[in-house]
């Protein structure tokens, strides 16, 4: 059975992106899903001086091990001022110092959602160009606008959006 990580790129306790990533990963047939909460990897704000003085914290190694042990990653990004949340950027900065290729050649389904009408499209677009340089094999990408009205406990409500999502999920499934 394929092991897939579901990661919300946010440290909000009630992150809509964590919820969306977990739901999306569970739409895969016959995969073992592990939900990853960034709050379990609390790290100091990266600086070269902290790294030189104290080395790379264990939490960054633990996060890297999770990636290496997985067959795929479903990552849903929160958009903060058009970019990654500070919590997500910080963890990737630390992990990038362990070795080249943060995402260890792992297939990735890139998602983003927000309460607003753009659905985190800004961060999704930059992630699509950045992630391949960080060792992710981006196999699909999808942004869900207006999370509050387009998503409920059964998943994506709008038929058109659901069908676009399913196309991207299928591409990811084939890459696993």
Ligand X SMILES: Cc1cc2nc3c(=O)[nH]c(=O)nc-3n(C[C@H](O)[C@H](O)[C@H](O)COP(=O)(O)O)c2cc1C
Interface positions with ligand X (CB under 6 A): 8, 10, 12, 15-17, 78-82, 114-116, 118, 120
Choose between 14 and 129: whose C-beta lies nearer to ligand X.
14
Q: Which residues lie below 8 Å from residue 59, measured CB to CB, with a gap of 6+?
A: 40, 41, 42, 43, 94
Choose between 80 and 137: whose C-beta lies nearer to ligand X.
80
Choose between 81 and 129: whose C-beta lies nearer to ligand X.
81
Provide, rounded to whole angstroms, the least separation between the CB of residue 169 and ligand X: 19
Provide, rounded to whole angstroms, the least separation between the CB of residue 113 and ligand X: 7
* Pairwise CA distance, residues 112 & 110, whole Å: 7
Provide, rounded to whole angstroms, the least separation between the CB of residue 10 and ligand X: 3
Choose between 37 and 59: whose C-beta lies nearer to ligand X.
37
Provide, rounded to whole angstroms, the least separation between the CB of residue 132 and ligand X: 23
Choose between 39 and 174: whose C-beta lies nearer to ligand X.
39
Alpha helices (runs of H) in the chain, residue ranges in sequence order: 16-26, 48-54, 58-68, 86-96, 121-130, 147-150, 159-175
Q: Please state the length of the chain.
A: 176
* Pairwise CA distance, residues 74 & 24, whole Å: 7
Tokens 């790379």 belong to which residue? 56
Provide, rounded to whole angstroms, the least separation between the CB of residue 115 and ligand X: 6
CB 77 within 8 A of CB 2: no
């Amino acid at each position: 059975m394929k092991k897939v990580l579901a990661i919300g790129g946010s440290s909000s306790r009630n992150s809509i992106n964590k919820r969306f990533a977990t739901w999306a990963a569970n739409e895969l047939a016959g995969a073992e899903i592990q939900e990853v909460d960034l709050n379990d990897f609390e790290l100091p704000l990266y600086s070269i001086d902290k790294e030189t003085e104290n080395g790379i914290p264990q939490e960054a190694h633990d996060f890297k091990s999770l990636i290496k042990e997985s067959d795929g990653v479903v990552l849903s990004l929160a958009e903060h001022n058009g970019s990654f949340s500070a919590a997500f950027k910080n963890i990737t900065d630390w992990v990038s110092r362990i070795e080249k290729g943060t995402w260890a050649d792992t297939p990735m389904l890139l998602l983003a959602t927000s309460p607003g009408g753009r659905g985190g499209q800004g961060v999704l677009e930059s992630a699509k160009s950045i992630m391949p340089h960080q060792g992710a094999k981006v196999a699909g990408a999808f942004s869900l606008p207006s999370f509050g009205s387009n998503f409920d406990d059964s998943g994506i409500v709008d038929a058109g959006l659901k069908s676009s999502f399913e196309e991207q999920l299928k591409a990811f499934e084939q890459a696993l």
